[in-house]
C-alpha cells in the first residue's frame, strides 16, 4: 500500500496520475489544498510519497513546484505523463438551460477558454481544485452550478456530464513527478532501472559557461530532454538551469556529474529515475 500526498481531491488529475503510476498497487491518498502542504506531509511522514505536476504542454513549467521540490529535501523517483481532458458536469437534475455558474481551478478554466467564450451566460468561478469543485456541488447540492473536471471525477461524485473534451487544445499533456524521502528511493525504484535524471545548477553570467557544461555532458553521451533557465531572484546576473538528462549507462552519468561540478556555482540532483 502506498500513501500518496497530492494537491487536490479524489478524482483530480493528481489522483489519476497517482493511480496510473502505481497501477498494480493499493493507493491511499492524502488530499492537500496546496503543494506546500504536500511537501509538509511528506516531511512529517517519511513513508509518504508526493505526486506533483511539473510541466504542461500548454501552460509550460510549474516553476513554483520546481522551487518547492528543490527546497524540500525529497528526491524524485519517477515520472508519469497524462493526457488532460476536461468535461463540464452538473447535478443530474440540471442541464444547459439551468446552469448559470461553472466552478474549477483557474488553470482548467484557462484551458477551456474557447468553450467558455461560447457560453457567455455561464459565469466562470475559481475553485481550489477541479475535482473539488465537483465534490462540493454534489455534496451541497448546488443547483445551477457546473464544474470543469475530469470525467473520472464527474462519475466519482455522481455528476451528469454535459459535454466531454471541452479543452481548447487537444494536445494537453501534463508530466508529474513522484518524490519521496531519499532513504526510501531505492525501495521505490531499483537503481539498475534508472535512465533519467533531473538536475538543477547555477552558473555565473559568463560567456560560454553553459556551453562548457553541455559539451561535457555530450562527451559523456548524456542526452538533454529539457532545459529551462531561470534568473535567480535577488542575484540579477546569476541563472538557475533546470535540466532533464537521459542516458544508457548510470556510471557514465555519475561521472559526467562529477565532471561538470567544478564548473558550476552549485548543483543539486533532484532525482534519478526511469523515463516514462
Residue closer to a second copy (CB basis): 38 or 185 = 38
Scan residues 6-45 and list those touching a second copy (CB under 8 A): none
Tell me how far apart the alpha carbons of residues 30 and 122 are, in angstroms, rounded to a whole number.
Answer: 32
Task: List the catalytic residue out of 22, 174, 241, 247.
Answer: 174
CA angle centred on 162, ends 160 and 167, rounded to 5°? 120
Mark residues 182-211: x for contact with a second copy by CB under 8 A, - for none.
Answer: -----------------------x-xx-xx
- For residue 192, indicate whether it is catalytic: no
Residue 60 in contact with a second copy, rule: CB under 8 A: yes
Q: Which helix (H) or strand (E) holds 214?
A: helix 209-219
Residue 223 in contact with a second copy, rule: CB under 8 A: yes
Per DSSP, the residues of 154-202 read HHHTTPEEEES---S-S--EEEEEEEE-GGGHHHHS-GGG--EEEEEEE
Q: 104 CB contacts (<8 Å, ≥6 apart)?
A: 86, 112, 124, 126, 127, 130, 133, 147, 148, 149
Residue 100 in contact with a second copy, rule: CB under 8 A: no
- For residue 22, indicate whether it is catalytic: no
In whole angstroms, the minimum distance from the beta carbon of 119 to a second copy comes to 13
Scan residues 123-182 and list those touching a second copy (CB under 8 A): 123-126, 171
Residue closer to a second copy (CB basis): 237 or 262 = 237
Query: What are the angstrom distances between the C-alpha of 171 and each of 16, 105, 119, 127?
Result: 18, 19, 23, 24
Residue 234 in contact with a second copy, rule: CB under 8 A: yes
Tell me how far apart the alpha carbons of residues 178 and 106 are, in angstroms, rounded to a whole number.
Answer: 24
Instruction: List residues bridging with 27 in a β-sheet.
Output: 2
Size of the site for a second copy (CB under 8 A): 42
Active site residues: 174, 176
The site for a second copy (CB under 8 A) is made up of 57-64, 106-107, 109-110, 123-126, 171, 205, 207-208, 210-212, 214-215, 217-219, 221-229, 231, 233-234, 239, 241
Amino acid at each position: 500500500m502506498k500513501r500518496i500526498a497530492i494537491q487536490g481531491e479524489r478524482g483530480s488529475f493528481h489522483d489519476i496520475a497517482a493511480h496510473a503510476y502505481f497501477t498494480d498497487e493499493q493507493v491511499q491518498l492524502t488530499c492537500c489544498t496546496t503543494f506546500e502542504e504536500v511537501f509538509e506531509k511528506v516531511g512529517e511522514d517519511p513513508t509518504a510519497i508526493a505526486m506533483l505536476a511539473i510541466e504542461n504542454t500548454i501552460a509550460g513549467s510549474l516553476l513554483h513546484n520546481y522551487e518547492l521540490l528543490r527546497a524540500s529535501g525529497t528526491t524524485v523517483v519517477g515520472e508519469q505523463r497524462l493526457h488532460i481532458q476536461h468535461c463540464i458536469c452538473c447535478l443530474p437534475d440540471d442541464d444547459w438551460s439551468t446552469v448559470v455558474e461553472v466552478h474549477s481551478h483557474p488553470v482548467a478554466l484557462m484551458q477551456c477558454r474557447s468553450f467558455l467564450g461560447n457560453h457567455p451566460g455561464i459565469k466562470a468561478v475559481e475553485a481550489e481544485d477541479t475535482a473539488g469543485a465537483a465534490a462540493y456541488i454534489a455534496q451541497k447540492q448546488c443547483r445551477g452550478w457546473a464544474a470543469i473536471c475530469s470525467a473520472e471525477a464527474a462519475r466519482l461524485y455522481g455528476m451528469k456530464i454535459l459535454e466531454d473534451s471541452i479543452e481548447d487544445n487537444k494536445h494537453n499533456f501534463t508530466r508529474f513527478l513522484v518524490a519521496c524521502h531519499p532513504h526510501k528511493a531505492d525501495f521505490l525504484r531499483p537503481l539498475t532501472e534508472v535512465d533519467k535524471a533531473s538536475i538543477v545548477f547555477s552558473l555565473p553570467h559568463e560567456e560560454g559557461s553553459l556551453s562548457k557544461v553541455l559539451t561535457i555532458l555530450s562527451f559523456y553521451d548524456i542526452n538533454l530532454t529539457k532545459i529551462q533557465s531561470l534568473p535567480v531572484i535577488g542575484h540579477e546576473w546569476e541563472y538557475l538551469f533546470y535540466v532533464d538528462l537521459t542516458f544508457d549507462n548510470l556510471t557514465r552519468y555519475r561521472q559526467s556529474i562529477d565532471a561538470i561540478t567544478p564548473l558550476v556555482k552549485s548543483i543539486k540532483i533532484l532525482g534519478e529515475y526511469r523515463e516514462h
